[in-house]
Every structure is written in C-alpha cells, then in structure tokens.
C-alpha cells in the first residue's frame, strides 16, 4: 500500500523533502502546491510529480491522500495544518510549528480531536553527530551538565522576503535560526522542560520589523542553564547552525565541530570521534531520515517525536523570550 503525500510549498526546503521521499519505495508524491503556479509546475517537472496546484482547496477533501508536508511561510502553518487535520490527513510541519504558542495549542487540539499525527521539522534530531553527543551526555561520561551554549546565526548573510516580515514569519532570526539551537540542546539533554527564560533581543542590521540579534538564557527543570544566540548578518559566528557546547562537571563536549575534552588530573585530553564525513552541514541524509521516520509513523500510527509537544515547547520558549526582551524581566514558564 503506497503512502500518498502532497507537498505544500515549493521553496528551498521542499527540495530536501522531495529528495528524501523519493528514496522511499512505497511513497508517492501526488501533488505540489505553491501560491505561484509557475513555481509549482517547475517543481513538479523537476521531481516528476503529476499535479501542480496553486491552492490547497482541492487537496483538503481528497480521500486518496494520507499526509502533507507543509513548508510555507509561518503565517500559513496553523491554518493549513488545521484544514488538513480536520479532513483526516497527517501533517508534517516545517519549524517553527506556528507563529505563537497559541497557534501550537490550536493545532494540537484539532490533531487530538481527529486522531491525526503531527510531526515538526526539528531535523537536527536525525543527525549522526547530534545523536553521538546525546548518547555521550546520557552515558554520564561528562558528569552533570551545568551549562550549554548554542548557536543559530548566519554570518554575513540573512534572508529576505517573507522571513523579514513579522506578519508572515511571527519573528526574525530567533524564530528562524534560534529554534534550531533551542531544540538541538533540548534533545541532547533528553528533553527537559523550560522553567524560566530571560532574553535580550534587538534589530541591528536591517530595515525590517523583526529581530536579527538575540541572546537567551533558559533554565531547565534539570538545573542546566542554556545560553542560546540567534542572528542574521553577524560579523562572526562561534559555530554553524545548531552548534552546541556542553559543560559538564567531568568534561566538555562540542557539537559542530564534534569533539570531547575530558579532565585528566590537572590537564585535559581532546578526542575527535570517527563519524561519517558530512557532504554538507545541513546534509540531505538528515532530511531523508526525517521523511523515513514520518512515513513509518503514518503506517504504525505512533505519535512522532519531534511532534506536538516538542514543537509547542520551542514556541513557548520563543514567546517567553520576546516577552522577556520587551519587559526586561525573567519570564517563568512553570
């Protein structure tokens, strides 16, 4: 039985999803949708997809469709997800899950009412290096992790178009890049809950109504403090997207570049694990694994992780950060 999927959105990230889905023997991409029909047609031609459409209305009610991958501007995540969920389709949502925590809760309410699945595209959970660091932390080798630093920064570059419009994106570099750093460290730390958030957020580089600079301090319920930096156009970044430093009572771990630094007496010993060579920082394999897992969840009817809860927690942290930056106060989440 083929799993029949439609792609909603024909931008940059949809290429990764299409390539991933096309490696799976029992999956058919039945349609691609873009507001610009010409873009949908080009995309359909490139990946031999039968139908190119410029709105979702004809797909929503179709009986021969199992699921959709939504890769649109953030403004459309919740309304499109809700429309498909109400009509019996499972949904994969690119990150962030919605424009706000309230939108996340609306999506969850509909998904639960209709017994449909929602997966959120926090793809660093499918990366080999990230999993290696997570396993190292879980083994206790590093002792108790008391502090982390994570990065979601573009050096000497920033997006344009809908990313820089608050009404379409909900936020700027924090909603775009910071969410990767937040979810990556949550995953590595075994998904703790956030207790408090303090943030300083500003716009330093562009004439737009969203942020391009952010520093967050998140206190987790396991006692770890995480510093998260987000940005576009910065003159320097301490590591690529989702790069994370973890400081433990017995040693240190770094993700991207990936290495361990362990205490030995009064000195330290650095080891670099033998991990598969990356073609690219955001390697296709991560997205392919993500699609494999989503399709497997559709077949087995198991709730995906990262799903509703993981997506919601990231949205709640982002909301709290914007509120903290506005008031200058710490925001309590528990």
pLDDT by 10s per residue, the chain, length 334: 899 999 999 999 999 999 999 999 999 999 999 999 999 999 999 999 999 999 999 999 999 999 999 999 999 999 999 999 999 999 999 999 999 999 999 999 999 999 999 999 999 999 999 999 999 999 999 999 999 999 999 999 999 999 999 999 999 999 999 999 999 999 999 999 999 999 999 999 999 999 999 999 999 999 999 999 999 999 999 999 999 999 999 999 999 999 999 988 889 999 999 999 998 999 999 999 999 999 999 999 999 999 999 999 999 999 999 999 999 999 999 8
State the greatest distance between any 2 C-alpha atoms of the chain, in Å, as a whole number.
Answer: 67
CA–CA distances in Å: residue 68 to residues 43, 59, 98, 123: 16, 9, 16, 17
CA–CA distances in Å: residue 194 to residues 107, 226, 299, 313: 21, 10, 32, 8
Strand partners, 218: 197, 226
Number of C-beta neighbours around residue 191 at 10 A: 16
Report the Cα 227 to chain-centroid distance in Å.
18
Determine the Cα–Cα distance for residues 218 and 67; give it in Å rounded to an integer.
34
Q: 170 near 75, Cβ under 8 Å?
A: yes
Q: Given strand 194-202, what is the order of strands in its sheet?
A: 267-271, 259-264, 251-255, 244-248, 145-155, 225-234, 213-220, 194-202, 331-332
Domain with CATH 3.40.50.720 in the chain: 3-121+284-304
Burial 100-120 (b: 16+ CB within 10 A, else e): bbebbbbbbebbeeeebbbbb
pLDDT of res. 116:
98
Q: 165 near 172, Cβ under 8 Å?
A: no
Instruction: Assign domain 3-121+284-304 to its CATH superfamily.
Output: NAD(P)-binding Rossmann-like Domain (3.40.50.720)
Q: What is the CATH number of domain 124-279+315-332?
A: 3.30.360.10
Radius of gyration of the CA atoms of the chain, in A? 20
Q: Give strand ranges (E) for 100-144.
A: 118-120
Domain with CATH 3.30.360.10 in the chain: 124-279+315-332
- DSSP letter at 269 equals E
pLDDT of res. 288:
98
pLDDT of res. 1:
87
pLDDT of res. 84:
98
């Amino acid at each position: 039985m083929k799993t029949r999927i439609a792609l909603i959105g024909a931008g940059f990230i949809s290429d990764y999803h299409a390539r991933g889905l096309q490696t799976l023997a029992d999956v058919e991409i039945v349609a691609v949708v873009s507001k610009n029909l010409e873009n949908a047609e080009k995309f359909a031609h490139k990946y031999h997809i039968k139908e190119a459409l410029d709105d979702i209305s004809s797909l929503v009610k179709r009986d021969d469709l199992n699921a959709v991958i939504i890769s649109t501007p953030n403004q459309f995540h919740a309304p499109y997800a809700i429309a498909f969920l109400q009509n019996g389709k499972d949904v994969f949502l690119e990150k962030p899950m919605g424009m706000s925590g309230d939108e996340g809760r609306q999506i969850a309410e509909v998904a639960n009412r209709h017994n449909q699945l929602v997966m959120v595209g926090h793809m660093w959970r499918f990366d080999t290096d990230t999993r290696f660091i997570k396993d190292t932390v879980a083994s206790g080798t590093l002792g108790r992790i008391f502090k982390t630093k994570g990065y979601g920064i573009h050096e000497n570059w920033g997006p344009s178009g809908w990313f820089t419009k608050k009404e379409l994106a909900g936020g700027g570099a924090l909603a775009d890049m910071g969410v990767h750093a937040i979810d990556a460290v949550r995953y590595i730390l075994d998904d703790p809950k956030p207790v408090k958030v303090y943030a300083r957020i500003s716009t330093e580089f562009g004439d737009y109504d969203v942020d391009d600079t952010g520093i967050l301090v998140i206190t987790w319920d396991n006692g770890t403090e995480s510093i998260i930096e987000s940005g576009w156009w910065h003159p320097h970044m301490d590591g690529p997207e989702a790069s994370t430093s973890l400081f433990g009572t017995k040693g240190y771990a770094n993700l991207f570049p990936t290495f361990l630094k362990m205490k030995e007496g009064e000195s330290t010993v650095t080891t670099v694990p033998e991990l598969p060579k990356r073609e690219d920082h955001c390697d296709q394999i991560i997205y392919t694994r993500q699609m494999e897992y989503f399709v497997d969840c559709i077949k087995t009817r198991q709730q995906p992780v990262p799903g509703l809860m993981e997506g919601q927690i990231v949205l709640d942290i982002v909301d709290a950060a914007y509120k903290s930056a506005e008031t200058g106060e710490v925001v309590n989440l528990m």
